[in-house]
């Protein structure tokens, strides 16, 4: 008979749909391979792709049933015979495609990073994905320069707040757009130079005014705002970063307007880029962990949910109710 000593609790997605399809169950402990590490998960970050994956709308479609959750933080319980860099008791960040909404995870050593002492487990579980996306987009893809103006939409969300902090660290002037006063204040605290309402009637004109009539040199858009609205806010020769579509709509872009403004549309998929160019991921991760260790970067965690309330955590994210990051606590 299976006991609690050889099993662990996890959230299971056995069918696709809304977060209501998720159920909590017990799973048997997997066998540890020679290069594997068993981690006790203390906290798991919630990301928008988790919502899409449960709905069957993400580009990566795991085989059913699966345990959602792409990133977590915890402590090493046990290591395989070939593991060199980790030992029981180490605080770690775990990068996963699935499996974070659980009390345990068994992963290859290559999926672990040491958790900086400056970050709590909750912060560590919600750090790497959002900040890697922001650093990759702004530095690697857009080549953001000191004193350039960058417009960040959805600036009160986890990905948006990370981009505000990274852009400010790179020396840019940040115009942060968000839908509520609380989200705009969080963006200001994260380093935004100016904050504006995403629903402002004269949105583009406001951006032009705040950028001294030049427009934004770089636009970081995880929401999927209307293309003409963003193009009117853009500077001549702007780099427009397509991060995602949290607003729920995928737009067609007017090629003639892009041509007239000599703008560049840049698709951002940090994970896929690092699979093609493996050195980029290790360099970006090392830099981010260094900055976190120095206290220069840290995520803003606004809501904590126990494991059994993981569906509520996904709903908070899907409904864009959260400020910063949402975390599940196994």
Residues in Cβ contact with 150 at an 8 Å cutoff, skipping those fewer than 6 apart: 138, 144, 167, 172, 173, 174, 175, 216, 217, 218, 219, 220
Q: Residue 1: pLDDT band by 50, 70, 90 thresholds?
A: very low
Q: Residue 320: pLDDT band by 50, 70, 90 thresholds?
A: confident
Q: How far apart are CA 170 and CA 68, in angstroms?
A: 33
For residue 115, is pLDDT > 60? yes
215 lies in the same domain as 122: no
13 lies in the same domain as 146: no
Token pair, residue 5, equals 């000593």
Domain coverage including residue 194: 129-271
190 lies in the same domain as 68: no
Q: What is the mean pLDDT of residues 225-254?
A: 93
- Asked if residue 145 is part of any domain, the answer here is yes
Residue 254: per-residue pLDDT: 95
260 lies in the same domain as 239: yes
316 lies in the same domain as 221: no
Q: What is the pLDDT of residues 171-192, one digit of tens each?
A: 999 999 999 999 999 999 999 9
Q: How far apart are CA 306 and CA 261, in angstroms?
A: 48
- Asked if residue 285 is part of any domain, the answer here is no
Q: What average pLDDT does the chain have?
A: 94
Q: What is the mean pLDDT of residues 8-21?
A: 97
Nearest by Cα to 251 from 242, 259, 260: 242
Residue 246: per-residue pLDDT: 82
- Asked if residue 24 is part of any domain, the answer here is yes
**211-214 — which CB contacts under 8 Å span 24+ positions?**
211/149, 211/173, 211/175, 211/235, 214/149
Count of domains observed in the chain: 2
* Under 8 Å between Cβ of 136 and 273: yes
Q: Residue 4: pLDDT band by 50, 70, 90 thresholds?
A: low
For residue 273, is pLDDT > 80? no
Distance of CA 80 to the CA centre of its chain: 30
Q: Where are the alpha helices (DSSP H) in the chain?
A: 48-55, 121-124, 128-135, 158-169, 181-190, 203-210, 227-233, 255-260, 270-276, 278-293, 310-318
150 lies in the same domain as 215: yes
CATH assignment at residue 12:
3.90.180.10
Of the residues 236, 252, 271, which one is the last residue of a structural domain? Answer: 271
Q: What is the mean pLDDT of residues 308-319?
A: 95
> What percent of the chain is helix, strand and coil (3-state, nearest 5)?
35, 30, 35
Residue recorded with tokens 């899409």: 52
Token pair, residue 312, equals 């509520």
- Asked if residue 108 is part of any domain, the answer here is yes
- Asked if residue 57 is part of any domain, the answer here is yes
Residue 244: per-residue pLDDT: 87
Q: Residue 283: pLDDT band by 50, 70, 90 thresholds?
A: confident
120 lies in the same domain as 133: no
- Asked if residue 276 is part of any domain, the answer here is no
- Asked if residue 279 is part of any domain, the answer here is no
What percentage of the chain carries pLDDT values higher than 90?
89
Residue 221: per-residue pLDDT: 96
- Asked if residue 286 is part of any domain, the answer here is no
Of the residues 229, 252, 271, which one is the last residue of a structural domain? Answer: 271
134 lies in the same domain as 266: yes
Residues 258-280 as b/e (b if ≥16 CB within 10 A, e otherwise) read beebebeebebebbebbeeeeeb
227 lies in the same domain as 147: yes
Q: How far apart are CA 327 and CA 105, in angstroms?
A: 17
pTM: 0.92
Q: What is the pLDDT of residues 196-238, one digit of tens each?
A: 999 999 999 999 999 999 999 999 999 999 999 999 999 999 9
Residues in Cβ contact with 4 at an 8 Å cutoff, skipping those fewer than 6 apart: 26
Q: What is the mean pLDDT of residues 75-104?
A: 97
Residue 299: per-residue pLDDT: 96
Q: Residue 248: pLDDT band by 50, 70, 90 thresholds?
A: confident
Residue 291: per-residue pLDDT: 96
Does 73 or 275 have the greater pLDDT score? Answer: 73
For residue 3, is pLDDT > 70? no
What percentage of the chain carries pLDDT values higher than 70?
98
173 lies in the same domain as 247: yes
Q: How far apart are CA 101 and CA 42, in angstroms?
A: 10
51 lies in the same domain as 100: yes
For residue 308, is pLDDT > 50? yes
Three-state DSSP class for residue 327: strand
For residue 20, is pLDDT > 90? yes
Residue recorded with tokens 């962990």: 289
133 lies in the same domain as 265: yes
């Amino acid at each position: 008979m299976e006991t609690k000593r050889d099993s662990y609790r996890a959230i299971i997605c056995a069918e696709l749909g809304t977060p209501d399809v998720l159920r909590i169950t017990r799973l048997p402990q997997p066998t540890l391979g020679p290069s594997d590490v068993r981690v006790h998960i203390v906290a798991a970050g919630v990301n928008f792709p988790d919502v899409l994956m449960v709905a069957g709308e993400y580009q990566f479609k795991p085989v059913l049933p699966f345990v959602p959750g792409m990133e977590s933080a915890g402590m090493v319980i046990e290591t395989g015979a070939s593991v060199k860099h980790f030992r029981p008791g180490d605080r770690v960040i775990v990068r996963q495609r699935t499996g974070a909404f659980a009390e345990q995870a068994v992963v290859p050593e290559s999926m672990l990073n040491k958790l900086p002492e400056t970050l709590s487990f909750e912060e560590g579980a919600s750090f790497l994905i959002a900040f890697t996306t922001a650093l990759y987009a702004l530095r690697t893809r857009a080549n953001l320069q000191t004193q350039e103006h960058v417009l960040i939409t959805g600036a009160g969300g986890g990905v948006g707040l990370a981009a505000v902090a990274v852009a400010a660290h790179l020396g840019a002037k940040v115009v942060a757009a968000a839908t509520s006063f609380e989200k705009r204040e969080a963006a200001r605290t994260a380093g935004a130079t100016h904050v504006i309402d995403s629903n402002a009637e004269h949105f583009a004109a406001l951006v032009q005014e705040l950028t001294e009539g030049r427009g934004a040199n770089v636009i970081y858009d995880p929401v999927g705002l209307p293309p003409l609205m963003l193009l009117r806010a853009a500077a001549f020769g702007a780099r427009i970063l397509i991060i995602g579509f949290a607003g729920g709509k995928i737009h067609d872009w007017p090629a003639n307007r892009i041509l007239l403004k000599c703008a560049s549309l840049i698709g951002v998929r940090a994970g896929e880029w690092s699979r093609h160019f493996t050195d980029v991921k290790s360099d970006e991760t090392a830099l981010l962990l260094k900055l976190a260790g120095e206290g220069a970067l840290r995520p803003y965690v606004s809501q904590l949910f126990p494991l059994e309330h993981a569906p509520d955590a996904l709903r908070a994210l899907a409904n864009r109710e959260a400020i910063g990051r949402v975390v599940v606590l196994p």
